[in-house]
Amino acid sequence: MEAAIRPDVVIIGSGVGGGTVARQLAETGARILILERGSFLPNEPENADAEAVFTQARYRTREEYQDEAGRRYRPGQYYYVGGHTKFYGTAMFRFRDTDFRETEHEDGTSPSWPFSYDDLEPFYDEAERLFGVRGQAGQDPTEGARSHPYSHAAIPHEPVIADMAERLLTQGLRPFFMPSAVDFGPGGSCRRCGTCDAFVCRYGAKGDGEMRLIRPVLKHPNVTLWTGAQATRLLPASDGRIAAVEVRRGGEIMRIEAPLFVLSAGAINSALLLLRSTDAAHPNGLANSSGVVGRYLMNHHLSGLMGLMPFRVNDTKFPKTLSVNDFYHGVPGDGAARGNIQMLGNIQGPMIRSAYSWMPRPLANLLGRHSVDWLCMSEDLPRAESRVRLLPGDRVEVAYHPGGRSAHDRFVEHARARLRQIFPVVLRHSFGIEAPSHQCGTVRMGVDPTQSALDSVCRTHDHPNLYVVDASFFPSSAALNPALTVCAQALRVGNHLRASWRNDNLAA
Ligand SMILES: Cc1cc2nc3c(=O)[nH]c(=O)nc-3n(C[C@H](O)[C@H](O)[C@H](O)COP(=O)(O)OP(=O)(O)OC[C@H]3O[C@@H](n4cnc5c(N)ncnc54)[C@H](O)[C@@H]3O)c2cc1C
């Protein structure tokens, strides 16, 4: 069915990538249609209920993926207005200068990006302001040059975390205030409710894609959001341009034509949409003449460390104020064992039991109350065999082969040894691809069209009016949280689109 709507731009997905591009284009007056498969997340008590969020997986997709052995599982994918940031932990890091350059690792090469940190810096600056990031410049030993300090002061540590910072200082480390997008401070809406990372904020205090991007952009009369609208295929024209998108909404299948398409469905779903969009001229899907679409899936090596305090309750409400980058380029004597250390959000009993169901509830609750929880993050090297692909019957297979695992393990053991100087017991938990929280890389950028799907402004090499702007564009994953980099590059792409499309294609 032909839809009775003629947008100038169709944006598929309302996460950080899609929301930021919408924000950049809104003031051009172009008629923008945002297609979002999910709904607005309801504000309800379950938002902050660990049993509902973790044990019952209330907000997770009901889709199933499978691994290479055919084992099926319900992935940690969330489809709502604002995308994954509705659940994110608000850590808003810039990647390091070196992350944009080719770097040799023990287990392979981290490729260069088609632009440098300096090229992205003004957009990082804007992205931080857009998301209201709080931080303190000049403390993190690995941070790149900044054109401006943070516009909001860092969120202060609560007593237990301040104590951790002191103890790390005495070990000769340089802990710093973690940059975080929470509306905290005088007049702010954060109530330090105790649930943030992996939960939904009921007070609108989390700087997420809905609050910071979509709600403001909907004030423009030329911007329309369709919820419950799942893009199922992109339809190419014979000249190589994209003619239309096929959308399933309310039981109907519609076809929407537009001069410009921005695909921002998240790294796994953007790749799947391109792979699904086959025709005689594109048997391997769209934007895929290089064959890279769906490949080079990365998610970070993520390990949690739980430091137990048998005689002290950790009453911290918002622990994510502290981070350590002293080992970003290697631990002493082992340059390959590298990564970032940051606080995890509050870990509660039901969260522990969702991974260790055999554990008695009282023990899980006790561990939750008496622990200080850390996250060790290392770069996950891109590998062609690490991929998402479609199997017959539209089944989704995720074959995950992250590069750099043993170096990560050594880094974690070093971090653990450091924490053993503070805690009598330090437990470890590794996160897998079942929770693809930092998914990226599946529609990679690059200068060589035979090795990449996108150019440096996220335009597909194959289709001049199709851009892919979400974490799928990452050529490498760095060892830091991805959302600020998605936003900064989306701002950069938005600028490019304003300059190059306005006269030709967008409404005046
Ligand atoms: C629990 C958790 C904690 C995290 N913590 C942090 C953190 O502290 N810091 C950080 O930087 N990052 C964090 N992340 C990661 C961060 O949230 C993501 O990197 C970021 O949100 C990715 O943005 P995106 O635009 O690439 O995609 P998404 O956020 O995935 O947005 C894609 C959107 O497209 C929609 N969509 C998908 N398919 C279709 C379709 N076919 N048609 C229409 N719409 C579609 C989805 O519903 C979604 O709204 C966390 C993630 C999780 C899950």
Which numbered atom of ligand 1 lies nearest the CA of 247? Answer: 42
Q: What band does 507 get if pLDDT is binned at 50, 70 and 90?
A: very low
Is ligand 1 within 6 A of the CB of residue 488?
no
pLDDT digits (tens, 9 = 90+) for 153-179: 999 999 999 999 999 999 999 999 999
Q: What percent of the chain has pLDDT over 70?
A: 98
pLDDT for the residue 5: 81
Residue from 88, 133, 248, 256 to probe ligand 1 pocket by mutation (most atoms less than 8 Å from CB): 88
Provide CB contacts within 8 A for 79, sequence distance 6+: 36, 37, 38, 61
| pLDDT given at position 50 | 95
The DSSP output letter for 109 is: E
Q: At what angle do helices 16-26 and 483-501 cross, to 10 degrees?
A: 30
Structure letter (DSSP) for residue 473: G
Do residues 298 and 268 lie in contact, with contact meaning Cβ atoms separated by under 8 Å?
no
Residue 195: count other Cβ atoms within 10 Å of its Cβ.
Answer: 19
> pLDDT confidence of 135, banded at 50, 70, 90?
very high
Task: Summarize pLDDT for 265-286 with one digit per residue, the tens.
Answer: 999 999 999 999 999 999 999 9
Q: How far apart are CA 472 and CA 443, in angstroms?
A: 5
Question: C-alpha distances in angstroms, 137 versus 127, 141, 176?
Answer: 15, 10, 9
Q: Quick check: CB of 482 below 6 Å from ligand 1?
A: yes
Full 3-state SS string of 24-73: HHHCCCCCEEEECCCECCCCCHHHHCHHHHHHCCCCCCCCCEECCCCCEE
Residue 395: per-residue pLDDT: 98
- Which whole number is the average pLDDT over 366-394? 97
Q: How confident is the model at residue 500 (pLDDT cuts 50, 70, 90)?
A: confident
Contacts of 206 by beta carbon, 8 Å cutoff, 6+ apart: 85, 86, 88, 90, 181, 182, 183, 196, 200
**Dihedral (Cα; 491, 493, 499, 503), 10-degree rounding:** -110
Nearest alpha carbon to residue 110 among 381, 348, 399, 456: 381
* pLDDT for the residue numbered 327: 98
Cα–Cα distance measured from residue 340 to residue 268, given in angstroms and rounded to the nearest whole number: 24
For ligand 1, pick from 84, 225, 256, 344 the residue to mutate: most ligand atoms within 8 Å of CB. 84
**Pairing state between β 103-105 and 32-35:** unpaired
**8 A C-beta contact, residue 467 and residue 274:** no
What residue segments make up the domains of the chain, in order of their start?
9-501
Q: Is the CB of 462 under 6 A from ligand 1?
A: no
Task: Evaluate: CB of 231 within 6 angstroms of ligand 1.
Answer: yes
What average pLDDT does range 71-83 have in this prediction?
98
With a 6 A CB cut-off, is 230 part of the ligand 1 pocket? yes
Rounded to a whole number of angstroms, the CA Rg of the chain reads 22
Over 90: is that where the pLDDT of 3 sits?
Answer: no
Distance between CA atoms of 450 and 457, rounded to whole angstroms? 17
Residue of 259, 260, 288 whose CA lies nearest to 273: 288
190 in contact with ligand 1, CB cutoff 6 A: no
| Mean pLDDT, range 458-468, rounded to an integer | 98
For residue 444, is it left (φ>0), alpha (ψ between -120 and 50) or beta? beta
Percent of the residues in the chain that have a pLDDT greater than 90, as a whole number: 96
The pLDDT of residue 506: 53
Statement: residue 503 has pLDDT above 60 = no
- The answer to whether 344 and 375 are in contact (CB under 8 A) is yes
pLDDT at 318 over 50: yes
User: What's domain 9-501's superfamily in CATH?
Assistant: FAD/NAD(P)-binding domain (3.50.50.60)
Among candidate residues 33, 41, 35, the one with its CA nearest the CA of residue 227: 35
Residue 279 pLDDT:
96
Q: What is the 3-state secondary structure (H, E, C) of 440-470?
A: ECCCCECCCCCCCCECCCCEECCCCCEEECC
Residue 4 pLDDT > 90, yes or no? Answer: no
87 CB near ligand 1 (under 6 Å):
yes
At residue 46 the predicted structure's pLDDT band, cuts being 50, 70 and 90, is: very high
Token digits for 308?
A: 């137990």
Whether 203 has a pLDDT exceeding 50, the answer reads: yes
Pocket test for ligand 1, best of 85, 321, 373 (most atoms within 8 A of CB): 85
Q: Which helix (H) or strand (E) holds 252?
A: strand 252-257
The answer to whether the CB of 271 is under 6 A from ligand 1 is no
Answer whether residue 437 shows pLDDT above 90. Answer: yes
Name which residue leads in pLDDT, 95 or 187: 95
Longest dimension (CA), the chain: 70
For residue 331, the SS3 value is strand
Distance between CA 207 and CA 182 in Å, rounded? 6
Average pLDDT over residues 18-37: 97
How does the average pLDDT of the chain come out, rounded? 96
Q: What is the pLDDT of residue 508?
A: 38
Q: Which residue has the tokens 């440096």?
A: 456
Q: What is the pLDDT of residues 208-261, one digit of tens each?
A: 999 999 999 999 999 999 999 999 999 999 999 999 999 999 999 999 999 999
Is 91 touching ligand 1 by the criterion CB < 6 Å? yes
Helices (runs of H) and strands (runs of E) counted in the chain:
11, 20
Tell me how far apart the alpha carbons of residues 440 and 434 are, in angstroms, rounded to a whole number. Answer: 14
Q: Is 281 exposed, middle or buried (0-12, 13-18, 19+ CB in 10 A)?
A: exposed
- Joined together, the tokens standing for residue 196 give 């943030």
